[in-house]
Amino acid sequence: MYHLTIQTHFAAAHNLLNYQGDCENLHGHNWKIEVTVQTDQLDNAGLGIDFKLLKKKTNEIMDRLDHKYLNDLDMFKGVSPSSEHIARYIFEALSEELTGIDVIVERITVWESDNACASYTQS
């Protein structure tokens, strides 16, 4: 099995719902996103997926989040836009974008700071 990982980022504001502390107030992050996909097949060039294509598909999703107030976005209506929920959203959106390509999204990791992250997988 091959595992391929890219990193990207986005900046946005949010506030956590039902949280007893400072993060219940409006604040922002420069989130770093790690995307890992897996495949057991390589193409004729020896690639599981072209990194250029994986970055393009991922950055299309980042454009939906970048410089936004996450609480106002449809995908987070009534849901606290925590790093956990952001990771799941990116996982599901990217899985849909990669339908028909011989890779599966394995893990999305969302870093909200240099020392705190949340990951989402389906297993």
Per-residue pLDDT of 13-43, as tens digits, reads: 999 999 999 999 999 999 999 999 999 999 9
The pTM assigned to this predicted structure is 0.96
Q: Is 27 a catalytic residue?
A: no
Q: Is 67 a catalytic residue?
A: yes
Q: Can you read off the two tokens belonging to residue 14? A: 């949010």
| Catalytic, out of 3, 9, 27, 67 | 67
Domain ranges in the chain?
2-120
Answer whether CATH 3.30.479.10 is correct for domain 2-120.
Answer: yes
Q: How far apart are CA 87 and CA 44, in angstroms?
A: 32
State residue 18's pLDDT score: 92
State residue 79's pLDDT score: 95
Q: What 3-state class would DSSP assign to 46? A: coil
Q: Which helix H or strand E contains 60, and what residues bound it?
A: helix 51-65
| Catalytic, out of 23, 34, 84, 97 | 23
Q: 123 pLDDT band (50/70/90 cuts)?
A: confident
Q: Is 29 a catalytic residue?
A: no
